[in-house]
Structure 1
Amino acid sequence: MTEFPIHAGLRLAYDVEGDGPPLVLIGGLSADRAFWSLARPLLAGFTTLAFDHRDVGHSDRADGPYTAVDMAQDALAVMDAAGIGRAHVLGHSLGGVVAQELALLAPERVDRLVLACTFARNDLYSRGVLELLKRLRAEVGNPVTYIRALATFTLGRSFLEANALEAIARQVVAAGPLQEVAAFHRQADASLAADTLERLGAITAPTLVMGTPQDRIFAPAFARAIAAAIPGAVLVEGPDTGHCPMIEAPQAFVDVVTAFLHGAAAVPD
């Protein structure tokens, strides 16, 4: 059942599923809770908390700019509303930066931390991609055409070659309305402005950092930089996918995540 706590004057939609240790799922740019729909059922043994960021899904739209820190405070408010004092945290893409900020803001609330296909500081290329995505959202009026264009960045080449992109785009569009242009731009601007790199040494949670070989937004070099900055972080190459391993190879993705969350000394190759 969807719940709606209020933080900073905004209603934030969330729901809780499963049994076991709590695991907070934090999606990326323009991703609502449905983003986790393939991987979430595979996270057996965990109580998963998923929520819609401000400006997406069933959460309220913001009335001005905000930062990844604001989004991390939203995540903490949702945890409070769900009665979760401490949890594992899994963040992807922009959600990975939000997870980093959460671990820095409230280290006592984070058990183990998983950062997938994310960044700590944008480089010239990733900034260019984000600016291009902003233009695509503003200028491409046909929803199916927009999703096809977006998929060329977010999905790996192997997945795109094995699946009918037109059918995927139509399925996404049929599932619900796209995020509004202004809302997308506010989230993209939060991603562009985010920078945690110089502060990552203060993260105390055991951390897994995952990059994927075909990621065309945040290449594996971003994962290496994060892992080098967080004391004791485990760096792993995830499934041979693009930017969204939880969609392209959900079981392989979950295998790596759960091995780490269960405290394994090593994670699957």
Structure 2
Amino acid sequence: MPHAKAADGVRIACQVEGEGAPLVLLAGQSNNHHWWDGIREGFTARRTITIDWRGTGDSDKPDEPYSTPGFADDVIAVLDELGIDRFELYGTSMGGRVAQWVAARHPERVRTLVLGCTSPGGRQAIERDVEVRRSLAQPDPAANRRALLDLMYTPGWLASTSGPYNTLGDPDMPPYALRRHRNASQRHDAWDALPGIAAPTLVVHGADDIFNPAVNAPLIADRIPGARLHMIPGARHAYFDEFRGIATPLVLDFLNAHR
């Protein structure tokens, strides 16, 4: 498994599969590249690149502040190591926050941008309500897991599948890294940078997402020049997983239209 060195010397693990145009897939908060298991197979006509965020997977796990702009720098370090100049970019949840910075800071490199189930951050973002926060703060790990599953997937999906569920976090993360990821995501604020994004942009969100409230999607789409918005009816936060039969063709159609 290749690694790249970030500017501060931290080793970032990356995974490369397939051939064709490079597509970078960015996972959610406190997750590693397995977030995309079962999904990246839908992009077989492309060379897909995933990473393990610092603090997760096979990347180094320094106990120091993390940030979404810093994660964006890690993404660029990986792509530089791989010799990839121009690329398509698809970020979901916290990965969508990071993708905002990548696209805003490196407009000459991002060919096409897809932002999924994400938020602009800052005062303009709509935060999850207090009941959702309480459900995720339960001291019982089993209850906390059930609450997270319910926010990610519909009851019908959970009743008909037994997992594995790859969106519930990296189980091997040290507690300090979990806190660092949470703080990075909570402190994200790219509102002022969004109008500077030049890449053709698709914003996708599950219409029933209350984990990252769906009202954030039109906020982002209205803020990025020319962005297109698509809400997936009935989908919750992990729309890209449960509704992959809808979401993956939607994303592919958008990417192919802007090649």
Q: TM-score, normalised by structure 2?
A: 0.89
Partner of 1:81: 81
Hey, what's the Cα distance between the residues in 2 that align with 1:133 and 1:60?
Answer: 30
Partner of 2:145: 147
Is the 2:63–2:177 Cα contact (8 Å) retained in structure 1? no
CA drift at 1:131: 5.7
Number of residue pairs aligned between Structure 1 and Structure 2: 254
Q: Displaced runs of 4+ in structure 1, greater than 4 A?
A: 127-134
Work out whether 1:108 is the aligned partner of 2:108.
Answer: yes
Identity of aligned residues (%): 32
Work out whether 1:179 is the aligned partner of 2:161.
Answer: no
Is the 2:30–2:170 Cα contact (8 Å) retained in structure 1? no
CA drift at 1:82: 1.4
Is the 1:157–1:242 Cα contact (8 Å) retained in structure 2? no
Partner of 2:204: 210
Partner of 1:66: 66
Is the 1:154–1:216 Cα contact (8 Å) retained in structure 2? no
Is the 1:19–1:47 Cα contact (8 Å) retained in structure 2? yes
Partner of 1:126: 128
Hey, what's the Cα distance between the residues in 2 that align with 1:133 and 1:189?
Answer: 18
Partner of 1:6: 5
Q: Secondary structure at the match of 2:257?
A: coil
Q: Secondary structure at the match of 1:240?
A: coil
CA distance 1:61–1:128, shift in 2 (3 Å):
farther
Is the 2:151–2:211 Cα contact (8 Å) retained in structure 1? yes
Instruction: Please give the per-residue CA displacement for 1:63-118, whole angstroms capped at 9, x wherever unaligned.
Output: 21121000000000011111111100000001001000001111111000000000
Is the 1:10–1:60 Cα contact (8 Å) retained in structure 2? yes
User: Which blocks of at least 5 consecutive residues in structure 1 are unaligned?
Assistant: 265-269
CA drift at 1:258: 0.2
Q: Secondary structure at the match of 2:72?
A: helix
CA drift at 1:126: 2.6
Partner amino acid for 2:3?
Answer: F
CA distance 1:133–1:198, shift in 2 (3 Å):
farther
Work out whether 1:50 is the aligned partner of 2:44.
Answer: no
Q: Secondary structure at the match of 1:5?
A: strand
CA distance 1:21–1:155, shift in 2 (3 Å):
same
| Superposition pairs of residues 233-248 of structure 1, within 5 angstroms | 233-238=227-232, 240-248=234-242
Partner amino acid for 1:258?
Answer: L
CA drift at 1:147: 2.8
Partner of 1:267: none
Work out whether 1:160 is the aligned partner of 2:162.
Answer: no
**Structure richer in helix, relative to its length:** 1
CA drift at 1:44: 2.4
Work out whether 1:253 is the aligned partner of 2:258.
Answer: no
Is the 1:25–1:90 Cα contact (8 Å) retained in structure 2? yes
Q: Indicate the RMSD between aligned Cα atoms, in angstroms.
A: 2.5
Q: Secondary structure at the match of 1:125?
A: coil
Query: Out of 184, 203, 219, which is 1:190 matched to?
Result: 184
CA distance 1:214–1:187, shift in 2 (3 Å):
same
Of residues 54-63 and 244-253 in structure 1, the stretch that sits farther from structure 2 once superposed is 244-253
CA distance 1:35–1:252, shift in 2 (3 Å):
same
Hey, what's the Cα distance between the residues in 1 that align with 2:132 and 2:52?
Answer: 20
Is the 2:56–2:170 Cα contact (8 Å) retained in structure 1? no
CA drift at 1:168: 3.5
